[in-house]
Amino acid sequence: MSLETKTGVELLLDYLDVCNTALEEHRHALPYKPLILAYDRIFANRQVGVDIYGEHPDDVETTLTIRLREGFFERVPDSAAHPSFHMKLKRQYMEDVVAHRKEYIQHPEKLDWDWMKSRMGLKPHHGPAHGADMRPPEKEAYPPPAKGANMRPRSAR
């Protein structure tokens, strides 16, 4: 079955499988271990409603409820669904993740974890990563004083 013909529910379950596999393989790695533990503590028994959309965020294809239990994402049955908050995932993004599952499992930082980070009070990341700017600040040019002694060294005059 091609990704385009999968239902939103099937696609989301495949996407969650990639997320779960990535979490399992990197569970003890430094950036993910504290994140998983914090999420488990903060969101114990809280559910997330996931709206899957096509081209426009207002055109929701389907909605599903998930939760993180014991470090793994799982679907909540519709009869027991009471989401604490909702997030939206673009169908094209999930198709890309599922189509390139090995890459996303090897490099889980490429997955979109912003929704989870923002709920924990961490700053979400929207856009390309930028490294630290370690260059010294540029020197400011100060104008000479209108009156009085010019205290700048001769080399800067």
Q: What Rg value do the Cα atoms of the chain yield, rounded?
A: 24
* 134 compared with 2, residue with greater pLDDT: 2
Beta bridge partners of 74: 67
The gap between the terminal CA atoms of the chain, to the nearest Å, is 75
The DSSP bridge partners found for residue 87 are 50
pLDDT per residue as tens digits for the range 96-131: 999 999 998 888 878 876 665 555 454 544 444 444
pLDDT at 99: 93
CA distance 103 to 110: 9
The stretch 85-96 carries a mean pLDDT of 87
Q: pLDDT by residue (tens digit) across 23-38?
A: 888 878 777 777 777 7
Which two tokens mark 11? Answer: 């696609």
Q: What is the pLDDT of residue 156?
A: 60
| Domain spans, the chain | 3-119
φ and ψ of 91, to 5 deg? -55, -45
- What is the Cα–Cα distance from 114 to 123, expressed in whole angstroms? 8
